[in-house]
Amino acid sequence: MTKPRIALVIGIVCISIFPVLVRLSLTPGLISAFYRMAFASAVIVPYVLLAKKFVIPSRKLFLLSSLCGLIFGLDVGVWNIAIQGSSATQATLLTNLSPVWVGIGAFLFLKDKPLRNFWIGTVIALIGMVLLVGLRFFLKMEFNIPFFFAVLSGMLYAVYMLVSKFVLGEVDVVSFMTISVMSSTITLGLICVAIGEPFSGFSNEGWLVLVIQGLVCQLLAWLLISYATKHMRATRVSVSLLGQAILASILAWIFLNESITLQMIIGGLVLLLGIRITFYTKPLPLFRLSKKEKS
């Protein structure tokens, strides 16, 4: 396994705890998103300044990096609201439709077009996601504000992946993360001030959750995922991030008393199979066989 893939796996593990932490509802959704970015900024900014790791890109790349931060901040904010307004499972499922949007965007705007195996793997992974969630979930699904916020989160997530892939081709990971996370912090801070969200008065457990979100779910996770994005196809990264649904379900079972069934286990295995297929560079044996038969 190459370094980018190892970084991606560790990053996925780090972000998998995020839905469970937000679902605890120890702080308001938007404030949770703000402090996630603020604590990450409080660590990475002094580091890059003292270590002289920050390289100022061109004005265009600086603005695009800032745009990534704005988009990602909005993504986290609406996702937090979706999680607290529904369930960790629903928000995770709808947000993880992002590979579809990433694939379409990559096909339209990126030089590296999605391979056929990407589409096959994505369909299989989404089927696995449906099995993981279960039919009952769809029967009970409510088309309310949290539902649409979760879908919007997936779209914002896709835009972030596509733009960051372009920017990371020219900017180093640490500089990109510094600009991005500062932009997210400012964006979410202004929104929280505008709507009158409280910035204090939380329990000790609430502050602990905010710190974990900032240092683990944001700083560590997205340094690793950004590194993977820089060296891998954006489409592969986006599908691989579906793997967080499996870990999130396990954590939700442990901490939120959400049940795990045999169907969920099968769904998880199918989901992993779909992710694995997207990493094949050659046509699948089934398609090679069909071509021979035609000839």
Per-residue pLDDT for 166 more than 50? Answer: yes
pLDDT at 86 over 80: no
- The answer to whether 27 and 35 are in contact (CB under 8 A) is yes
Query: 96 lies in which domain range?
Result: 3-294
- 200 contact partners, CB below 8 Å, separation of at least 6: none
**Helices 221-231 and 145-168, packing angle to 10 deg:** 60
Paired tokens of 47: 């580091």
pTM of the model: 0.76
Residue 186 has, within 13 A of its CA and on its CB side, a CA count of 11
Q: Is the pLDDT of residue 289 over 60?
A: no
Q: Which two tokens stand for residue 122?
A: 């994505």
pLDDT (mean) for 148-171: 86
* Predicted pLDDT of residue 151: 78
Give the pLDDT mean for 222-236. Answer: 85
Q: What is the DSSP string of 230-274?
A: HHS-HHHHHHHGGGHHHHHHHHHHHHS-----HHHHHHHHHHHHH
Rounded to the nearest 10 degrees, the angle between the axes of helix 221-231 and helix 173-195 is 130
Write the CB contacts of 156 (distance below 8 Å, at least 6 apart in sequence). Answer: 71, 72, 74, 75, 78
Residue 79: both structure tokens together: 């996702």
Q: Residues 151, 97: contact at Cβ < 8 Å?
A: yes
**Of 73, 148, 162, 178, which is closest to residue 110 (Cα–Cα)?**
162
Residue predicted with more confidence, 111 or 164: 164
Give me the number of domains the chain comprises.
1
The encoded tokens of residue 69 equal 């931060």
By CB atoms closer than 10 A (0-12, 13-18, 19+), residue 108 is: exposed
pLDDT reading at 292 higher than 70: no
Question: Higher-confidence residue: 134 or 158?
Answer: 158
Higher-confidence position of 246 and 220: 220
Burial 134-161 (b: 16+ CB within 10 A, else e): beeeeeeeeeeebbebbbbbbbbbbbbb
pLDDT confidence bin for 290, thresholds 50/70/90: very low
